[in-house]
Structure 1
Amino acid sequence: MHPLAGTIARTIQKKNTERHHTVSAKLQRTALAALALASSLAWAQTPPNVLVVGQIAEPQSLDPHAVTAVNDFRILVNIYDGLVRYADGTLEVEPALAESWDVSDDGITYTFQLREGVEFHDGTPFNAEAVVFNFERMLDENHPYHDTGPFPLAFYFGEVDTVEATGDHEVTFNLSEPFAPFLSNLAYPTGLIISPEAVREHGEDVGRSPAGTGPFQFEEWVSNSRVTVSRNDNYWEGAPDLEAVIFRPITDANTRVAEMMAGGIDMMVEVPPDNVATFANDASFTVYEEAGPHLWFLILNMKEGPMQSREVRQAINYAIDKEALVNDVLQGTATVAAGPTPPAFNWAYNEDLDPYPHDPERARELLAEAGYEGADLTFYVTEGGSGMLDPLSMGAAIQADLDDIGLNVSIETYEWNTFLGLVNPGLEGKADMAQMAWMTNDPDTLPFLALRTEAWPEEGGFNSGYYSNPEVDELLTRARQSTDLEERAELYKAMQEIVYEDAPWAFIANWQQNAVATDQVQNFRLQPSFLLELRDVSKP
């Protein structure tokens, strides 16, 4: 046995002894799986019933309230549950830790009946008080554990006025106003429920020692190597088939592909476009594809520099050959985007908007009108990240297209988490534009968090380009307060028309997500939520 496997086995044994458990054969097999981690490309086959997943980056945290990236969410949904969740294969909400709920006629009060007999992985009970703790921790600045944040997506629950335990297993949310996306936001990973005792014990480090109620429980996190979770035999919905899952951060796409081919991982998400056909034509692999609400775009810095001019921003949209990006770089795994709302939200999508065509001559005319011919631009590009597709190649192609209209673009490239640390706080004083991708759960989410005036970074939002249009602000506010689906749709469509003309972003692509797994992996399917649900997966 490789020494690394023995070390991991001893670590897991120590942790389980502290939890008054006995080390089982499943954790010994988890240790054996770690043999591959020390062997570069000289992989052994992964062990039976232990799933090794190739992730695109190291997680930032395993605290569900402290992160924003789908890369992290893919781990979290297997450790935690929320009050509700997305039903399999849909974005419709179904019960999870809450068995049922009632909504008042005015849309202000939501009362949830909680499951009884559920425990967190640390042995403490799940109840209404635990739910109250979770949401007050995020939302109440005076909560004793609010300083264990920050909580960047607390926006999702900004309309919550109070949350009360109205019984041992009944919790009531009182909203300040009707909020149409509330249930959908509860199903999003920001609504996952963490053990209050784990937060009390570990404080701001709870993201390295998490405890939820989910189908898998945390075992270890070795930085830049792996996150290991094991089967929760006491899961309220029944123990999963898999004995353990190892999530491995492999930031280089070519390395992920090589390890998939060599047998070092069982599954990889976000397959590079150039490799989809290779896996699809090999009977030992299965390629999974699923449409979902995704947008890949460029944030344009409207706070300063050339991008303050709408003519320049429109010129950027006309200059980029998005058809070439989609067909040549992305190998047909995406479609050209026409605005800020993905077409997967078919009920709210404005079909009257056509994508900006590739028109370099029109782009040059607009630059001349604005007086920015030959302008110098700084462009932030990432090596890879959640939903970022092929960002290096796309960045180079975009640079060439902008050079063609006379703009001098300087690319600065960063690792994903470093990239987020630069972009999320705002582009002012840093760059003129930056790549970005969002995968969302509701047509409200992306524009509310990234296009409103009150979502500027200093206000806690993700409007990193400092776009501001009072009419857009008003439309978004009215849409999230309306309980009439047709009215919401019309408001979102009107918002899309304005944003299309204002062009605070360069609208590039809507991706059809993919993953590949070996033929040993059974009962897996991709979800339109872009989350990685593994509770029903097996690997004999």
Structure 2
Amino acid sequence: MNTKNRFLPALSAAAVTALLLAACAPAAPAAPAAPAATEAPAPAPTEAPTPTEAPAPTEAPAATEAPAPTASAMMKVEAPNCDYGGKMKAIEAVDELTVKFTLCSPDPAFPYKIAGDSFAILDADYLNETGGDSNKISENPVGTGPYKLKEWKRGESITFEAFADYWGEKAKTPTAVLRWSKEAAQRLLELQSGNADGMSNVGPDDFETVEKDADLKLIEVPAANIFYIGFNNTIPPFDDDRVRLAFAYGIDRQRIVDDYYPRGSVVATSFVPTSFAVGASPNVPWHEYNPEKAKELLKEAGKENLEVTLTYRDVVRGYLPNPGVVAQEIQAQLKEIGVNVKIEVKESGAFLDSVTAGKEAFYLLGWGADYPDATNFLDYHFGPENKQYGKPYDDIVALLKEGASTADLAKRQAAYDKVNELLKKYVPMIPVAHGGSALAFRADVEGAHANPVSALVFAVMAPPRDTFVYVQNAEPISLNCADESDGETFTACAQIYETLLRFKLGTAEVEPALAESYESNADLTEWTFKLRPGVKFHNGATLDANDVVATMAAQWDAKNPNHKGRTGSFEYWTAYFGSFLNAQ
């Protein structure tokens, strides 16, 4: 069944209405029973026991469990003022189970941002033990999720086992396995043969094959994404506005969508999907295909017979179902305007790191929605902290701040119309397509679903077997998603970790997760979260407000000893909340 029509209302008025009313605490699902009043957590030793070590009968019940913080031990991290360039003013543990975020300006999208996998909560003591190093965290990730890591066979698979002390509904299958293959045909073969229970990104030509197979079921995903061709405005020849504009005229986007995309895909008229309530500007259409105009611009710039390198990662995504052939199509189209293109394929993690660092001149990339608002697309990509396009455009940055700081839809759209006009003028990228895509599952898998803005939840899916096996496009880069931006990595993290809020299955609506309720002040600058009591980490520690502050501070504060990650870029933090505190 095509889910697109069901999803569009959620992404338009209803979703944004929900976003703007997020200050009202939603009803929380039933929380697990709190610990008995006589039960007291034990002090944490200096070294946690190995997983096979059992405490002696006379020892405290949970060796890694830290005592509840006292009022004097409540953590607070605060900027002296908002002049440092970020949007976060303070993060405070008000009491053992209450956390407050204070912002420098209103943010109606804050609940959606904090629900992202990059902001999963870690145990503060464990974070200190690892120093926030993604390599160490990936060896033994400690979360609160329904699954915990059993084994990661590099290059092959990741195996998860159900967490017996999970606070919510236990995983329906004792074991879950994540595998990967870049070829859609290979993923489908594994599904058809019964070696897998689910797969990502069905090939564009295989939708009907899945639909006609009684043993399989297809779940289509709406086109809440963007595939774009990116440029860096500081690297020749793309430091010349006329060259970027020439490429915009020289790419036939309609041909690409018609020839290489599945049903449900559309040519992008702007960077933000048109299904969103604000952000897209139908009245500011993108440049039409005009190869003669492209040649004139190149001649005017003195850049005829250009030779350039186009880079990409060979990873299938919903926004780019055929990366190799699309790269070749772009190569052929640019040949028609006198540009010789060399194609270079890079390893996924290295490619993303290079783009983030602003080292790729001409590349293929895309974006899938994390939440249904223009800020997720425009602020993330064109804000002051993003280096991938080279030097940021100050006029765009100012308009983005204007659009993100008000709940008035008309004022927001007016700002975004101007942003889209400037993107069309400057051409930091070429928006090509909003790609339709689909997942496939064995027909006997109960709870099979597709999430439009978040990773799948393996714990709710139940095949009539003891193990659930899912095959995706690529191997995760790490198991510490604070410093990642890769969808395949988020899929793995989502099984192990949890956030304060989460997205309801199959929707773009947030609901309580580790926080059982939340509220904001009237001007949306203070957001207060009440944590669930009795939530356990995989190492036996109990969740408290200091864990939340410690987790967030490790990303926010550049001088925090745990501000390490994998590359140290913490891309989601800077995209959502601006500059780091204490940045050099």
Query: Which amino acid is the alignment partner of residue 420 of structure 1?
Result: L
Query: Which amino acid is the alignment partner of residue 437 of structure 1?
Result: G
Matches within 5 A, 1:423-462: 423-427=355-359, 431-440=360-369, 441=371, 442-452=373-383, 454-455=384-385, 461=386
**C-alpha separation in 1, matches of 2:18 and 2:147:** 20
For the Cα contact (< 8 Å) 1:403–1:409, is it kept in 2? yes
Matches within 5 A, 1:354-433: 354-387=285-318, 388-427=320-359, 431-433=360-362
Residue 216 (structure 2) aligned to one of 269, 274, 285: 285
| Partner SS, residue 358 of structure 2 | coil
Matches within 5 A, 1:92-491: 158-203=86-131, 204=133, 205-387=136-318, 388-427=320-359, 431-440=360-369, 441=371, 442-452=373-383, 454-455=384-385, 461=386, 463-491=387-415
**C-alpha separation in 2, matches of 1:352 and 1:531:** 33
For the Cα contact (< 8 Å) 2:278–2:412, is it kept in 1? no
Residue 423 (structure 2) aligned to one of 471, 480, 499: 499
For the Cα contact (< 8 Å) 1:163–1:174, is it kept in 2? yes
For the Cα contact (< 8 Å) 1:314–1:503, is it kept in 2? yes
Q: Give the equivalent residue in structure 2 for 1:70.
A: none
Q: Give the equivalent residue in structure 1 for 2:540.
A: none
**C-alpha separation in 2, matches of 1:136 and 1:374:** 58
**C-alpha separation in 1, matches of 2:68 and 2:379:** 29
Q: CA deviation at 1:324?
A: 1.7
For the Cα contact (< 8 Å) 1:467–1:504, is it kept in 2? no
Query: Which amino acid is the alignment partner of residue 348 of structure 2?
Result: W
Q: Give the equivalent residue in structure 2 for 1:11.
A: none
Pair 292,336 (structure 1): closer, same or farther in 2 beyond 3 Å: closer
For the Cα contact (< 8 Å) 1:318–1:363, is it kept in 2? yes
Residue-pair matches, total: 410
Q: Give the equivalent residue in structure 2 for 1:512.
A: 436
Query: Which amino acid is the alignment partner of residue 511 of structure 1?
Result: G
For the Cα contact (< 8 Å) 1:317–1:507, is it kept in 2? no
| Partner SS, residue 296 of structure 2 | helix
**C-alpha separation in 1, matches of 2:111 and 2:277:** 19
| Partner SS, residue 459 of structure 2 | coil
For the Cα contact (< 8 Å) 1:165–1:172, is it kept in 2? yes
**RCO (CA 8 Å, sep 6+): is it higher in 1 or 2?**
2
**C-alpha separation in 2, matches of 1:346 and 1:511:** 19
| Partner SS, residue 330 of structure 2 | helix
**C-alpha separation in 1, matches of 2:169 and 2:262:** 41
| Partner SS, residue 207 of structure 2 | helix
Q: CA deviation at 1:529?
A: 0.2
Find runs of 4+ consecutive structure 1 residues off by over 4 angstroms: 90-95, 100-103, 112-119, 122-130
**C-alpha separation in 2, matches of 1:524 and 1:337:** 30
**C-alpha separation in 1, matches of 2:205 and 2:179:** 22
Q: Which protein has the bigger helix share? A: 1
Q: CA deviation at 1:493?
A: 2.4
**C-alpha separation in 1, matches of 2:86 and 2:222:** 29
Q: CA deviation at 1:515?
A: 0.6
Deviations 1:386-417 (A, max 9, x none): 54421111101000000111101111112212
**C-alpha separation in 1, matches of 2:206 and 2:216:** 12
User: Structure 1, unaligned stretches of length 5 or more?
Assistant: 1-85, 104-111, 141-156, 456-460
For the Cα contact (< 8 Å) 1:326–1:333, is it kept in 2? no
| Partner SS, residue 367 of structure 1 | helix
| Partner SS, residue 121 of structure 2 | coil
For the Cα contact (< 8 Å) 2:286–2:424, is it kept in 1? no
Q: CA deviation at 1:473?
A: 0.9
Query: Which amino acid is the alignment partner of residue 317 of structure 1?
Result: A
**C-alpha separation in 2, matches of 1:371 and 1:479:** 38
Q: CA deviation at 1:433?
A: 0.4
**C-alpha separation in 2, matches of 1:197 and 1:330:** 47
Pair 491,308 (structure 1): closer, same or farther in 2 beyond 3 Å: same
Pair 166,94 (structure 1): closer, same or farther in 2 beyond 3 Å: farther
Q: CA deviation at 1:91?
A: 6.1
For the Cα contact (< 8 Å) 2:262–2:436, is it kept in 1? no
Query: Which amino acid is the alignment partner of residue 475 of structure 1?
Result: L
**C-alpha separation in 2, matches of 1:239 and 1:267:** 20
Query: Which amino acid is the alignment partner of residue 93 of structure 2?
Result: A
Query: Which amino acid is the alignment partner of residue 195 of structure 1?
Result: D
**C-alpha separation in 2, matches of 1:118 and 1:206:** 29
**C-alpha separation in 2, matches of 1:304 and 1:93:** 42
Identity of aligned residues (%): 23
Q: CA deviation at 1:530?
A: 4.2
| Partner SS, residue 306 of structure 1 | coil
Pair 334,538 (structure 1): closer, same or farther in 2 beyond 3 Å: same
For the Cα contact (< 8 Å) 1:118–1:236, is it kept in 2? no
Pair 125,535 (structure 1): closer, same or farther in 2 beyond 3 Å: farther
Pair 174,432 (structure 1): closer, same or farther in 2 beyond 3 Å: closer
Pair 396,434 (structure 1): closer, same or farther in 2 beyond 3 Å: same
Pair 451,296 (structure 1): closer, same or farther in 2 beyond 3 Å: same
Q: TM-score, normalised by structure 1?
A: 0.69
Alpha-carbon RMSD: 3.5
Q: CA deviation at 1:281?
A: 2.1
Query: Which amino acid is the alignment partner of residue 421 of structure 1?
Result: D
Q: TM-score, normalised by structure 2?
A: 0.64
Deviations 1:479-536 (A, max 9, x none): 2222323322321222112112221101111112311111121222212204213332
Query: Which amino acid is the alignment partner of residue 407 of structure 1?
Result: V
